[in-house]
Each structure stands twice: as C-alpha cells, then as structure tokens.
Structure 1
C-alpha cells in the first residue's frame, strides 16, 4: 500500500549534524528517541544549538552526503562561523537509476525534512525563520516540498540548478516555487537539460546564460550536462567567501550581452539580499575561482 512505501521512504532519510566541534564526522540526529537510546542517554540532539544559524543541505540524484556537493558547502560555512549544518542523506533512494522513482519520492523526502525541522522547532527551540535549506538538483525540489509542508515559514531556500525532467512546466505545487519559503533564490547552470529553465524563486540567477557553463564543453556528450549541473553548487560554495558573483537584472542573456540591464546589482549565492527580485545574469570564469566581479 502507499502508506507502506511512505514509511519506507522515511526510514531511508537520515540527518547528520555538523558544527565546529564536529567538522569531519557529523552527529546523526533523530526525530524520535527509541527506548534504547533513552537508556543509553543518547544526547545527540543536544548537539543542536538553537542560538546558531541552521543550514540544511540536500544532495541530488545518484549523490550522497559524502560528495563535494554537500561537503564543500558545509566546510566553507564552518570556516566562516560556527553553525548547525545538517546534511540530509537520502542516497539509498537517490541511487535509483530509474530517475522517475526518486522524482516521485522528492515529495516524501521533503515532508520527512519538514518533520525534522518541526521537531527541532518544538523540542530544541529552533527558529523557523532562521532556517536556510539548500538543495541541489532533485534536492532543490525536496527543499521546496519541505517548505510548502511548513506553510512557507522557513526563512530561506536556495535552489542549486533544480532538476528539470519531471518538473519543467509543472504547476508551482509540484516543484520548488517562491511560496515555499520567506525567500527563495535559485541558480540555474544547465537550464533546459539536467536543470530547470523556468523561474522558481523570488530571484533567479542565470550565470553564463544559465545553460552551458564555460569549460564544460570538452567532455563527452553524456557528461556535458553533469559538468554544468554541478557548477551550481561550486558557485554557491565559493559565494560563502565572496560577494563578487556580481549580477545584473536583465530580461534575457541576449539583453545582458547587449548591455541592456538594469542598474540594481546583486551578489549571486550566499550573500544575496533578501529583498532582491527578478531575473539576474552574470559571467563567471571557467575554473576556480569562478567569481569575476563586475563584468559590465
């Protein structure tokens, strides 16, 4: 029955909390305390500090918490400040080569994340408005479903190249959209192939036009999109240290190239201002460091 599959999905989502005391190996946190863990005086959830900022990081298809997607962002945040960085691992589900199955499971994974957030708010006094959820690929839609389950009360969702197949052209309730959090920012790096091209946030960034990223074209054709798809999390990880992903409000990439952009500049990635709205374009370098500063 569908109830059974829902339970199966929930059991296959785990949460790993990192902070400056636990940088390399996260502490696994659970929503429910089993009798055994009470007897063992399991204090893992006490590692969560409600006074600190909280980031949830969600990987995508055929990925896991151990990959660069999660680790680089986590490490960079902890270099900047002590915080609660919670990696969501749903790798057992995301590993399915039949892509459509994990697509369908993103909603249940998102709802499982919502329950953990609710749990931290009620038992550890976390602040919903201070929670920032960052998701790559399918993980961006998991973030959206978590946010919508919580009535859009999460402070911020960052969608890193939200997945395209199964989501492009669907109504907002079926994917990441601006109602999922108080503020939603999105970076598109393989729009139209692996990544969604439609707007999904309050602000949507299209680096290098949003489709193919520089230096990603020398790979064999099947890896081509993986390279561009992955740039979104590399840009975001770098943006934790720099505000130099300077972006321009423009109607299109053609408009950007013709220098027909508005005056209100914005920094892509972590430093973006919460009241920024619209479509933004920029150029990046083809290798690290990617941030290029003013390009117009």
Structure 2
C-alpha cells in the first residue's frame, strides 16, 4: 500500500467507534457501493468522486476547508442517480454561496428488502459515511462544525448513525421527515436522535393519516404501517414519517400531517413535502421567511395560544435552512416543538396572523359564540368565513377574547388590517 492510500479496515472500522456497535453488522467493505460525489462552484455540473481510502482523491479535488460542507443522503428505493430535485438542491446552495456539496450514493443497497435496509444497511452506510467524514476532516483540516448532514426519510437515520460514530462532533443534522416504519419506538441509539450532532433539526410532514387500500402501488406498502382497530374500522396508516420529536428543534408544518394540496391517494406527497419546504428556505430570493411558533401541540397553536414570540424573541423560530441560528436553544434533554402553516403550492411560505375579538361579557352570556363564525372581506372578490375558536381560559374581566385560527390568506389584506400571528397570509 502506497502513501496515497489508507487501509479499508482503518476507514470502515475505526476502533474508537466500533467497540460497541449499536446494531447487528452486515458485511463491511466496498461491496456496499457507497459513493461520494463532490460539487462546488468550480465544478457545479460534473462531480469529483471522493474515495475515503485514497487521500489524493480529496486533495486533488475542489474541496475547500474554508467552506461549509453540505452532505445529502437520499432515502429508500433510490436508484443512486442524481434526480432533478437533488440537482436543484445542489444548485440552490451553490447560488447561495461557496459550499462543498457532497451527494451520498447508496442507491444499490437502498433497493434491498426494507427490513434488511433498516437492520443492516442503514447502520453500515452510516458507519461508512462517518469514516469518510473523519478522513476528509483529517486530510483537509475542516472544522467539525462545518459539516451539515441532510437526510431524507430513511436517509435521516443514516445521518444519525454517522453522527453516533463521530461521537456527536459534527455541526448539524437536518432530518427531512425521518422514516417511521421499523423505527417507531426504537431507542435513540438505533435511529436519529438529538445527541448525534451539535444541532439536530427535524421536519415532520407525514406522521399519520387514513389511506384507502389500492391508493398507491404495491411496492410502497412495506414503507407504511397498517393498523386496523376492528374488522369494520377504516384502516389507519401510520405513514412514512416519525411522529415522535427526536431533534433539538422539531418542526411540524400544518401539524405534521394533511399537507395542503396532497391527495390521500398519493402516499408519498406529504412525506416528500418536507423536502419541498426545506428547498424553499435555501433560495436566496425566497418570497417570505418561513417562521414557526413554539407550542405544546397543534390544537393549541390553531387556537391562538402560542403567538407570543417571547421577550427574547425565542419562541418564533426560522424554519428550514436558517433554523441553525437557533442552535443556542438546543437542550440535550428535550425537544422544542414548533408549529407553522404553509400554502399548498410554491411559494409555500405564508404570513401568520391572529384576530382577536373583544366581546362584552353580557353579550357573551346572552349569545352562544361556540358555533359562530367571522366573515373577513379582503377585497371585491375575496371573502373568508372563519369559525371562531372560543377559549374559556381567555375570559378576562368583562371581555371575551376569541382567537381565530386556520386562516390561510393568499392575498395581502386590502380592506382589513390584521395583526400578530396565527392564521396565515
């Protein structure tokens, strides 16, 4: 072996990382066909193939330790080819600035039986990715903080295993709707968790729902979990994404389910919306900022109980790529739950509003407001009928405050000026 090569045993089995493997091992070695494609502004279209066992492939590439490194890990059943959405992600980052963009290709093994992928392949690819990152860091001197892993679906758990084998040193992991089947209720050492990086943010878009049989191709059925309460009950599908909060900050757009304009017959639409939402936040000319609100749960958010941004403005958080600016809120012992609304098509960002009505207590006692609605006129052709959300806890003295939630206003108000934060515009 010459000086430009590193033994595969050094790469695939770093002693400090594998003393107590948290999973059953598959066969290590190059047979896993994991490849690493590097794109930078110097080579935006044709990738360099980086090989962990060959230092020269890194030293002679366009990789720069001065730039942040974005590493994207695809999900289940990917062919390994760079598809249009992945190319767009790469392009958006390179328009944004100087980055090392690395696409992890484990496509061949991602097409194996789902159970085998979960139990054997994902941990193994995560270990290979960790070994690759360690070599790149050693060869180039890049800081651990500069590495950001972005994992889609089951790729989020690959990122988690990589982070575990690097002892949580890497700067950030973003999980785009981490896969739920076979991962639900698993302990943190067997899935993505908040201890896998200095900052872990997670986007949940497909946490549960009701899906009719025959709605999607048979090949996707292993990717969902079917639950039938009784023989005559409607089959409930615990769908592709994890419901449990597992990051430092967990974002739940639209409550984590029922994404606008996603048909129930399309099992992957909601799951892949996490990618679409995240992509929008990378754009340099985004039409508006996507902002979420710290809250205990979705019903409380919709009811308007979580619109206070806090004295330090630490309860209204940027969503997606800019979420890293909130890393100081990271708490290893708990997840911060953040909720927001989106539109059903690009641009997905919306402006959040809250309307409060002050009603004299005598009127509130005389008339039932629980089945009332508010009509809002925004212009000659736009009129919204919004149900009132009456919260008995918000009765103060002689006034009754009726927060309004669930309003998506696609046009800026032209007649009525709204204030604060909980519908959307």
Asked if TM exceeds 0.5, the reply is: yes
Larger Rg computed on CA atoms: 2
Aligned to 2:251: 205
CA contact (8 A) 1:28 1:44 kept: no
- Residues 210, 43 of structure 1: CA spacing in aligned structure 2 closer, same or farther, 3 A cutoff? closer
Deviation (angstroms), 1:68: 4.1
Matches within 5 A, 1:27-106: 27-33=48-54, 45-63=60-78, 64-96=80-112, 98-104=113-119, 105-106=121-122
- 1:169 counterpart = 2:185: yes
Query: What's the CA shift string for 1:40-66, capped at 9, x where partnerless?
Result: xx6775321111111100000112351
Aligned to 2:272: 230
Deviation (angstroms), 1:160: 0.4
Matched residue SS, 1:271: helix
- 1:285 counterpart = 2:300: no
Matches within 5 A, 1:1-296: 5-7=27-29, 11-33=32-54, 45-63=60-78, 64-96=80-112, 98-104=113-119, 105-192=121-208, 193-217=239-263, 220=265, 224-241=266-283, 242=286, 244-261=289-306, 262-263=308-309, 264-272=315-323, 273=325, 274-276=327-329, 278-295=336-353, 296=422
CA contact (8 A) 2:50 2:58 kept: no
User: What TM-score do the two structures reach when normalised by structure 2?
Assistant: 0.64
Query: What's the CA shift string for 1:172-215, capped at 9, x where partnerless?
Result: 11111110000000000111310000011000000011022111
Higher RCO (C-alpha 8 Å, min separation 6) = 1
Deviation (angstroms), 1:12: 1.3
Instruction: Give the whole-Å Cα distance in 1 for the aligned partners of 2:205 and 2:316.
Output: 19
Q: Which 5+ residue runs of structure 1 have no aligned equivalent? A: none
Instruction: Give the whole-Å Cα distance in 2 for the aligned partners of 1:169 and 1:88.
Output: 27
After alignment, is 103-112 or 138-147 more displaced?
Answer: 103-112
Matched residue SS, 1:102: helix
Instruction: Give the whole-Å Cα distance in 2 for the aligned partners of 1:260 and 1:55.
Output: 36
CA contact (8 A) 1:191 1:197 kept: yes
CA contact (8 A) 1:212 1:225 kept: no
Instruction: Give the whole-Å Cα distance in 2 for the aligned partners of 1:69 and 1:146.
Output: 23
| Alignment size in residue pairs | 283
User: What TM-score do the two structures reach when normalised by structure 1?
Assistant: 0.90
- Residues 13, 283 of structure 1: CA spacing in aligned structure 2 closer, same or farther, 3 A cutoff? same
- Residues 163, 181 of structure 1: CA spacing in aligned structure 2 closer, same or farther, 3 A cutoff? same
